[in-house]
Amino acid sequence: MNIFAKTDAQDAEQLVKVRYIVAYLESDDIRAEVMTGAAWFAFIAGLICLMFNRFYHFIFSYSDDHEYIPESGRHTIFIFLLVFYLGIAIRMFIVSWKSSGRQSVRYRAVAYTSVAFGVFMFLQILTSFCPLYVIGLLIGTCVVHSYVEAGDEYLKENAKLLCDIFKHSPVFRVGGDEFVVFLRGDDYDRKQELMDKLRNQVLENKESGV
């Protein structure tokens, strides 16, 4: 019974994880719907497979000595998850390459996290008795948090750049990586000069990879 509870928890965990990825990316397009739909399909299919496994042991079974025996269905499930996460990783790397700023950091975070999930999912297929799947989850969580910190640092650098250029005007963050500057005084009189300076600095940062 514990094995059923564990497998059921893994299915639920996949669903929660994908929903978190969608929320983290702040995405509501067709890609988000496909990812969420695939996670719901895997969750429901997993529940159905567990119920049928009670009568036909195609996911796991026990020997006469009460030894856990993984069956072909278990490997099929892990292979599906492996392909799913590697697919997400490839897609996120492509989108990250085409994006810029904080959103690019978010895509890279999901890509590297998915790679970690996929690698340890493959290793889990090879052995049933080591918690490699859980190790993958822990590493993936650490990767996301490291990129969250990188994203925060990116926002601080952007804010500092704006404050350094528009020295006499208030700068406000209005959401995500969007900022608003209320020009006044000398900054307003020199607005075109300062905007050109900002534009040139942004281009220089992109060329240098900053």
| pLDDT (tens place) for every residue of the chain, 210 residues total | 444 444 555 666 667 777 767 766 666 667 777 777 877 887 788 788 878 878 888 777 777 777 777 777 777 877 777 788 888 888 888 888 887 766 777 788 888 888 887 788 778 777 766 777 778 778 877 777 776 666 667 777 888 888 989 988 888 877 666 788 889 888 888 889 999 888 888 888 777 655
pTM: predicted TM-score of the whole model, two decimal places:
0.54
Q: Which residue has 């564990």 as its token pair?
A: 6
* The dihedral sign for the CA sequence 69, 71, 75, 80: negative
Domains of the chain: which residue ranges?
Answer: 2-151, 166-208
